[in-house]
Amino acid sequence: MLGLVVHEPLANGGLRLGWGVGHHVLDLLEGARALDHYAFEVRDFDGVAAIRDRLQAAGYTVSSVDVDLIDSSIGHAHGISVVDPDGNTVQFHSPVWRQGEGAATPGRRPVKYQHITLGTTDVTPLAAFFTDIVGFQISDQLDDGRFAWLRSDKDHHTLAIVNVGEAGNVDHYSYDLAEWEDFKSWCDKLTEYDVDVAWGPGRHGPGNNLFVFFDDPAGNHVELSAEMEKFYDDRVTYVPRRWEPLPKTVNLWGGQTPSWRRVGGTA
Amino acid sequence: MLGLVVHEPLANGGLRLGWGVGHHVLDLLEGARALDHYAFEVRDFDGVAAIRDRLQAAGYTVSSVDVDLIDSSIGHAHGISVVDPDGNTVQFHSPVWRQGEGAATPGRRPVKYQHITLGTTDVTPLAAFFTDIVGFQISDQLDDGRFAWLRSDKDHHTLAIVNVGEAGNVDHYSYDLAEWEDFKSWCDKLTEYDVDVAWGPGRHGPGNNLFVFFDDPAGNHVELSAEMEKFYDDRVTYVPRRWEPLPKTVNLWGGQTPSWRRVGGTA
Amino acid sequence: MLGLVVHEPLANGGLRLGWGVGHHVLDLLEGARALDHYAFEVRDFDGVAAIRDRLQAAGYTVSSVDVDLIDSSIGHAHGISVVDPDGNTVQFHSPVWRQGEGAATPGRRPVKYQHITLGTTDVTPLAAFFTDIVGFQISDQLDDGRFAWLRSDKDHHTLAIVNVGEAGNVDHYSYDLAEWEDFKSWCDKLTEYDVDVAWGPGRHGPGNNLFVFFDDPAGNHVELSAEMEKFYDDRVTYVPRRWEPLPKTVNLWGGQTPSWRRVGGTA
Amino acid sequence: MLGLVVHEPLANGGLRLGWGVGHHVLDLLEGARALDHYAFEVRDFDGVAAIRDRLQAAGYTVSSVDVDLIDSSIGHAHGISVVDPDGNTVQFHSPVWRQGEGAATPGRRPVKYQHITLGTTDVTPLAAFFTDIVGFQISDQLDDGRFAWLRSDKDHHTLAIVNVGEAGNVDHYSYDLAEWEDFKSWCDKLTEYDVDVAWGPGRHGPGNNLFVFFDDPAGNHVELSAEMEKFYDDRVTYVPRRWEPLPKTVNLWGGQTPSWRRVGGTA
Amino acid sequence: MLGLVVHEPLANGGLRLGWGVGHHVLDLLEGARALDHYAFEVRDFDGVAAIRDRLQAAGYTVSSVDVDLIDSSIGHAHGISVVDPDGNTVQFHSPVWRQGEGAATPGRRPVKYQHITLGTTDVTPLAAFFTDIVGFQISDQLDDGRFAWLRSDKDHHTLAIVNVGEAGNVDHYSYDLAEWEDFKSWCDKLTEYDVDVAWGPGRHGPGNNLFVFFDDPAGNHVELSAEMEKFYDDRVTYVPRRWEPLPKTVNLWGGQTPSWRRVGGTA
Amino acid sequence: MLGLVVHEPLANGGLRLGWGVGHHVLDLLEGARALDHYAFEVRDFDGVAAIRDRLQAAGYTVSSVDVDLIDSSIGHAHGISVVDPDGNTVQFHSPVWRQGEGAATPGRRPVKYQHITLGTTDVTPLAAFFTDIVGFQISDQLDDGRFAWLRSDKDHHTLAIVNVGEAGNVDHYSYDLAEWEDFKSWCDKLTEYDVDVAWGPGRHGPGNNLFVFFDDPAGNHVELSAEMEKFYDDRVTYVPRRWEPLPKTVNLWGGQTPSWRRVGGTA
């Protein structure tokens, strides 16, 4: 579903964890580290068609996804593919079974794939593509326009976009943990496998979610997350919030910020 | 194992959760909402035969169950079928593997199928069928004779029978959660899928179990339960307890009772 | 701090729990059930003076509070008193020691006094008094203008105002629990003391907090609360959210609503 | 409240823990180890008088307790004293404040004093005294008549009586822990203070409560307990249960039984 | 992986639990109860070859394991087999997928296979074989030389060796639980299946791990374990610790020791 | 007990938390920030005299502590004072009551004062003073001699000494939390009071304890700690471990190290 490219073959110990975490949401391809494509599951059965119609009305070329690539579809499998303003391929496909997700956890409660954060050189057009055409809504943004968090269901964000100075990039991808208790368990388990924590544990301002980051064997940042804020668009009207670009915004608790997550003047 | 009939096709988002919960214990058949059959797994290998003998001695007609319908049997698969005093088909079959149950949980600890509560017009003959012939024991009953809880192992009840004014009815079916912590998780998850809580969280008097109810897409009441009282018939003699038919009996904590669970004069 | 009047003398068993919960924040006076006064602690040492200045600039008559009534003040004790637009006396006083709060818990984690909800006939002028003059901010409100939640620190609300059809009324007062685990403990403990749950457990939309309500011996609604949303006004700009006046707004989980908390057309 | 006599002065390290646990419910007197007196708090304000009347009607001599010995009484302090069939002095007194109990916990959740178990040579007359005259009810008993558990409120037992071959004896006294998590904490803490676990952790059949035992510096057995079964006499009719005198009755989990808690033929 | 021989067929209820626990790490063979072989997974891809070289250099005869017996290998499957100084067959094989382990838990968090403890008549040569040739390190040992705990990764021990008076014996095998909370859950579940706790819950001195023991249907001791001490050989130098052979060494909490785990003069 | 000097008066909001945490173990004196004295409680009643004898035998001048400064002593209060090799005043006094410690927690489980870490220019003589004369033992040390952790009871360290380039300095002082769950609670609470986390949450190598650091209003580092390793000197022989001076030693999980805790070449 989320296409990443790794440098190294799977047959090494270090890779096992990343593999264990994301084994059914990552297509691993040989090649240079780059974003091949990313994809969204659309819960509503008519939703894929509606997105296709809006994309075509906006002048985008939409192609079909080979249904053989959509495992365990619920009902009739179908999917579409389009190139986003950054030139990335993005897919939208019909719902799939989720029962296997818990099974990947190497020692703690279930983990589900939660969101991807795209790296770009300009947040505005990419955010506009997702809000104006695809149908996402902005939950939060940095006041300097360099970071935006977008939702497509009750989760505060299922997609985020950050200015990292280059386009066509995955800033990080994120999985859900059940609760704070699991953060100790995962940090200890990562230590057992010689994988360093890269940032946190902490709590984000936008989304209010607990987080910890580590890198997968290909060097991508991976986030584990819990307690994300929920939105109820069926019963309340939200105005996107604007946050000061401060370290205390990306980690409410404070502490050191890693070199790849500078906010404010140093992004 | 537990036969229910649903009104709607599976291909809608709302159904996914009910589906995720009970997918391997429900046979979903096209037709009007009604009880097709229900079934019990007998742990003891000779137990099915003993039940068959007692049923036949009591004059019941017993037929065999097609063994192809018994998945993952431990040892030789066999099962019997009989019509209960209400005209429902009930099956008793040999043990099956239980390892898959935990896999259905969409975010929290394992869930096992726990009990069915039958709706009827007269509790006494149905309870007598299960205690006098099949071999269940009564753990608790309402003093007005309109509700009885029956056990077949260490759990306070694996079957309950309630007077709901019509026979051939499933009042509700129930799954076990590991602990109270999971009730918050499930209520939040149900909210995420736009499924309303129908009753609770609360704590039952009979069985002392924590509970919360919601409805599946077919309109059946579903209960999530934890901390059920245990019985040790091998080392203690129990006399069935009689409870006043009061709201505080069906929910020790008090609170509002749903329209379909009135006790006392308003049943 | 929060002045309530109770009908009955303290010397009865039923009162002990309410007493245990709120013993150091309630002044219990003989008389009819009514709101005598309510009070806020101002964390900032110069804050009381600033509120006094703003009140006087707006033409309100401000009197001093007898400092002997302010126990355990940090530094120099001082306080002011003013009559709000509904005719209630409200006090603002300097900080007090909080170390004793945890000690009142009869079996679980610490409890702190969290907020009061005022009942009124018209939410707007009372809310305006607190936002325009005293310095509170609105976090959430019902779209029909009949309920508003106001904050004075990082908590989503430290004061709420609801249209209950009469003024000079305490709709409920609320205490913080540490976590969801404590809700089971408290419901079981209340059951042990024959105090019924009046609403919940559930989760509010505005504030996102878990809640359960019961009544104190004087008939006031008491709320236990946890996981309340936090606001960070020093680093993010908020626009008050507007919620549909629906049962699913006041309890995200659904379930039955008590007779005294109707939303929508039936308030 | 519970009078015990200790051999040794308080000024030693080993005594500190026992002291920390029970400091406000134990009167420590110089002398040989023996039961000086034990006492019950009566929640109902008229209850002490009613017990006095029943005792006198049954021919017992009742004296008043010096009210100066009843700390922190709620309302008017009063108490009575009588000699039980074993010759022990037992007191019944009016309610006292409970807020200090949590404060004694040296590192975990609150502990309340829960019950005393009397050792005797004949369970029947002592149990009859408490049920027929004082007003307790039997919850459970061993089928050989050598152990009985009696309740006076919603807890399964607030008094137990066991045949230990001599009268005038405290078999053990017991405190409540909030939950299972605390058992690890307490066992680790006891280890830190060089106090050995004497039995458990385990789970009792009668009462269903989790338990662990250790000895105080005077050699008395002390129990820590949690999850005790509740009784609701206002809404359900109970018949005392009879348990086989087996090790699996006093510890459902099995495991080794200490020399001083033999059941069955070896009591 | 770990070869044990059981007396009885699988088709009985009592066996189901043991089966549920260890179903994918036990090869069950017909025959007398004895140790057929045991096996270690080597995480490093070159590690099996290195062990083979060291074994051959030390004069041991090394044979290959039939790769068909190594399920779900990561990369190229390979394994070697050698006879240890006690005459037991021991295998070392390449890494295998671990995702299925959590699925076996019948009601609580994931369980992974943790260690085997070999029974022998002489600890020293067997320990020397594993430390000097295979590459394990000693973490702890009893001062009388009758018990040694050896590590091969960050866990305090993945192998232990105890003098039980006969060789070619499995003293016990052990599984990891996630946390203390699970011990209550497992003891209650074992009680439900009529399996007695054989020792504990308690906490070991060597390894500092929480433990509880029960017997599988074949009579082998099974340990459930949590919180085992970790070793970081890449950044700290350890000297094997020597413990007094005392009951308080094998259970820090004290309590009764089972007949098969005597330490000190009575081993 | 632990003498620190603060710059600012107590009467400001920011100070309240630091005050709430350590209010009964800190003597706050006007003056420049410096270490006035520090103190140890000696559990054994004869222990103070024994330390005095050893200090005098080693040629140190020992004076008595004014017993009025020892609150709530158990038994006869006595204490001694001596100047350590760095010129700091250190006191040893008889045991005191600990019951008040839990009461300081503003929202979570009890906190006890756990250890002080002294900053110095030379670890060796200060460590030698405590091990050779006072009677502490070294649990762990960095291999470059710049950090040592010393124990005086079952805790891994009750005193630590670190080379920070100047003597007469408190590097940090530390309090115990009950468990990992409390770390989230404390970080959220500190955020509520605008106190930034300075380091962590993480897990130390030496001591294996979970930690998080923040600064008190005087700029001293404060540590919250849990799960510290225990030592059992009565039953096992320990050799001090030597750790590589690496970031992964002071935080096993990795992550960023604060500027004031560099290890290796950058100390």
Question: B34: pLDDT confidence band, cut at 50, 70 and 90?
Answer: low
Minimum CA–CA partner of E244 in chain F: F235
Minimum CA–CA partner of B236 in chain D: D243
Rounded to 5 degrees, φ, ψ at E54 are -65, -40
- Please tell me which of the candidates C140, C239, C249 has its beta carbon nearest to residue A239: C239
Residue F38 in 3-state DSSP? Answer: strand
Query: What is the CA A225 to chain-centroid distance, rounded?
Result: 11
**Residue range D214-247, pLDDT digits in tens:** 998 888 899 999 999 999 999 999 999 999 999 9
Q: Which ipTM score applies to this complex? A: 0.84
With a CB cutoff of 8 Å and minimum separation 6, the contacts of D67 are: D73, D77, D78, D79
Question: B16: pLDDT confidence band, cut at 50, 70 and 90?
Answer: very low
Average pLDDT over residues C146-165: 95
Query: Quick check: A248 and F180 CB within 8 A?
Result: no
Question: Cα(E151)–Cα(E142) distance, rounded to whole angstroms?
Answer: 15
Measured CA distances, F75 to D11, E64, F44, F46, F97 (Å): 6, 71, 12, 12, 10
**Residue range F232-252, pLDDT digits in tens:** 999 999 999 999 999 999 999
Strand D37-41 versus strand D89-93 pairing type = parallel
Question: Cα(F130)–Cα(F174) distance, rounded to whole angstroms?
Answer: 19
Residues in chain B with CB shorter than 8 Å from the CB of D242 are 236-237
Q: Cα distance from E217 to chain D (closest Cα, Å)?
A: 16
Per-residue pLDDT of chain E (267 residues; tens, 9 = 90+): 233 333 233 333 333 333 333 333 333 333 444 567 888 888 766 788 999 999 999 999 999 987 766 655 556 678 899 999 999 999 998 876 554 444 333 344 556 778 899 999 999 999 999 999 999 999 999 999 999 999 999 999 999 999 999 888 888 999 999 899 999 999 999 999 999 999 999 999 999 999 999 998 888 899 999 999 999 999 999 999 999 999 999 999 998 888 888 776 443
CB E209 within 8 Å of CB E229: yes
Mean pLDDT of the residues in chain A: 80
- Please tell me which of the candidates A110, A230, A234 has its beta carbon nearest to residue B105: A110
Q: Cα distance from A36 to chain F (closest Cα, Å)?
A: 29
Residues in chain E with CB shorter than 8 Å from the CB of D184 are 180, 210
D28: left (phi over 0), alpha (psi -120 to 50) or beta: beta
Measured CA distances, C56 to A40, C41, C83, C134, C236 (Å): 58, 19, 12, 11, 30
* Percent helix, percent strand, percent coil in chain B, to nearest 5: 20, 35, 45
Q: How many CB pairs under 8 A join A and B?
A: 46
Percent of chain A topping pLDDT 90: 57
Query: Quick check: E107 and B110 CB within 8 A?
Result: yes
pLDDT value for D21: 37
Is C165 a residue whose pLDDT tops 60? yes
Query: Quick check: A10 and E153 CB within 8 A?
Result: no
CB E185 within 8 Å of CB E108: yes
pLDDT value for B103: 36
Minimum CA–CA partner of F111 in chain D: D107
Q: Cα distance from D241 to chain B (closest Cα, Å)?
A: 6
Chains F and D touch (3+ CB pairs under 8 A): yes
**Residue range D6-54, pLDDT digits in tens:** 323 333 333 333 333 333 333 333 344 457 788 888 876 678 899 999 9
Residues in chain A with CB shorter than 8 Å from the CB of F256 are 199, 255-258
Percent of chain B topping pLDDT 70: 75
Chains A and D touch (3+ CB pairs under 8 A): no
Residues in chain E with CB shorter than 8 Å from the CB of D257 are 256
Question: Cα(E199)–Cα(D202) distance, rounded to whole angstroms?
Answer: 11
Residues in chain E with CB shorter than 8 Å from the CB of B75 are 10-11
Q: Which has the closest alpha carbon to A135: A208, A241, A57?
A: A57
pLDDT value for A95: 77
Mean pLDDT of the residues in chain C: 80
Query: Quick check: B232 and D252 CB within 8 A?
Result: yes
Residues in chain E with CB shorter than 8 Å from the CB of F143 are 237
Question: Cα(C83)–Cα(C89) distance, rounded to whole angstroms?
Answer: 4
Is A193 a residue whose pLDDT tops 70? yes
Residues in chain E with CB shorter than 8 Å from the CB of F239 are 239, 241
pLDDT value for B183: 95
- Please tell me which of the candidates B99, B153, B178 has its beta carbon nearest to residue E20: B99
The tokens for E229 are 């001490």
Query: Quick check: A202 and F199 CB within 8 A?
Result: no
Query: Quick check: E243 and F236 CB within 8 A?
Result: yes
- Please tell me which of the candidates B191, B203, B256 has its beta carbon nearest to residue C256: B256
Show which subunits contact F, needing at least 3 CB pairs below 8 angstroms.
Answer: A, C, D, E
**Residue range B90-143, pLDDT digits in tens:** 999 887 654 444 433 334 455 677 889 999 999 999 999 999 999 999 999 999
In chain C, what is the greatest distance between 2 CA atoms, to the nearest angstrom? 52
Average pLDDT over residues A35-54: 82
Question: Cα(E259)–Cα(E248) distance, rounded to whole angstroms?
Answer: 15
Question: C111: pLDDT confidence band, cut at 50, 70 and 90?
Answer: low
pLDDT value for E71: 55
Strand F137-142 versus strand F241-243 pairing type = parallel
Residues in chain F with CB shorter than 8 Å from the CB of E204 are none
- CA-based end-to-end distance of chain E: 29
The tokens for D62 are 């009742």
B255: left (phi over 0), alpha (psi -120 to 50) or beta: left
Q: Please indicate whether residue B74 or residue B173 has the higher confidence score (pLDDT).
A: B173
Chains E and C touch (3+ CB pairs under 8 A): no
Q: Please indicate whether residue C62 or residue C112 has the higher confidence score (pLDDT).
A: C62
β-strand partners of C129? none
The tokens for C183 are 């809700």
Average pLDDT over residues B76-95: 88
Minimum CA–CA partner of D112 in chain C: C107
Instruction: Write out the residues of chain C at the interface with chain D, using a CB-CB cutoff of 8 A.
Output: 10-13, 16, 20, 23, 102-109, 185, 188, 191-192, 194
Show which subunits contact E, needing at least 3 CB pairs below 8 angstroms.
Answer: A, B, D, F
Is B76 a residue whose pLDDT tops 80? no
Question: Cα(F218)–Cα(F220) distance, rounded to whole angstroms?
Answer: 6
Q: Cα distance from F176 to chain D (closest Cα, Å)?
A: 9
Measured CA distances, D37 to B38, D22, D166, E18, E251 (Å): 59, 16, 16, 51, 37
Residues in chain B with CB shorter than 8 Å from the CB of C196 are 248, 253-255
- Please tell me which of the candidates C75, C154, C234 has its beta carbon nearest to residue F11: C75
Show which subunits contact A, needing at least 3 CB pairs below 8 angstroms.
Answer: B, C, E, F
Average pLDDT over residues C149-171: 93
Q: How many CB pairs under 8 A join A and F?
A: 62
CB B62 within 8 Å of CB B56: yes
Query: Quick check: A236 and C205 CB within 8 A?
Result: yes
Is C19 a residue whose pLDDT tops 80? no
- Please tell me which of the candidates F74, F76, F103 has its beta carbon nearest to residue D16: F74
Residue type, C100: G
**Residue range A101-111, pLDDT digits in tens:** 443 333 445 56
Q: Which has the closest alpha carbon to F44: F96, F94, F112?
A: F94
- Please tell me which of the candidates C229, C232, C242 has its beta carbon nearest to residue A236: C242
Average pLDDT over residues B150-158: 95
- Please tell me which of the candidates C11, C107, C191 has its beta carbon nearest to residue D110: C107
Is F41 a residue whose pLDDT tops 90? no
Measured CA distances, A113 to A101, A188, A225, B26 (Å): 8, 21, 10, 28
Query: Quick check: B106 and A95 CB within 8 A?
Result: no
Is C157 a residue whose pLDDT tops 90? yes
Average pLDDT over residues A8-17: 33
Minimum CA–CA partner of E193 in chain B: B154
Query: Quick check: E178 and A107 CB within 8 A?
Result: yes
Question: C32: pLDDT confidence band, cut at 50, 70 and 90?
Answer: very low
- Please tell me which of the candidates B235, B239, B246 has its beta carbon nearest to residue D246: B235
Is D71 a residue whose pLDDT tops 80? no
Residue type, E238: Y
Chains F and B touch (3+ CB pairs under 8 A): no
Question: Cα(B1)–Cα(B39) distance, rounded to whole angstroms?
Answer: 5
pLDDT value for B54: 95
Minimum CA–CA partner of B246 in chain D: D235
Q: Cα distance from D187 to chain C (closest Cα, Å)?
A: 20
Q: Which has the closest alpha carbon to D233: A131, C141, B241, A96?
A: B241
Q: Which of A33-37, A192-196, D247-251, F260-264 has the lowest mean pLDDT?
A: A33-37
- Which of B92-101, D169-178, D195-204, F32-41 is the most confident on average? D195-204
Q: Which has the closest alpha carbon to D147: D267, D23, D10, D11?
A: D267
Residues in chain A with CB shorter than 8 Å from the CB of F185 are none
Instruction: Write out the residues of chain F at the interface with chain A, using a CB-CB cutoff of 8 A.
Output: 180-181, 184, 187-188, 190-191, 196-203, 210, 248, 252-258
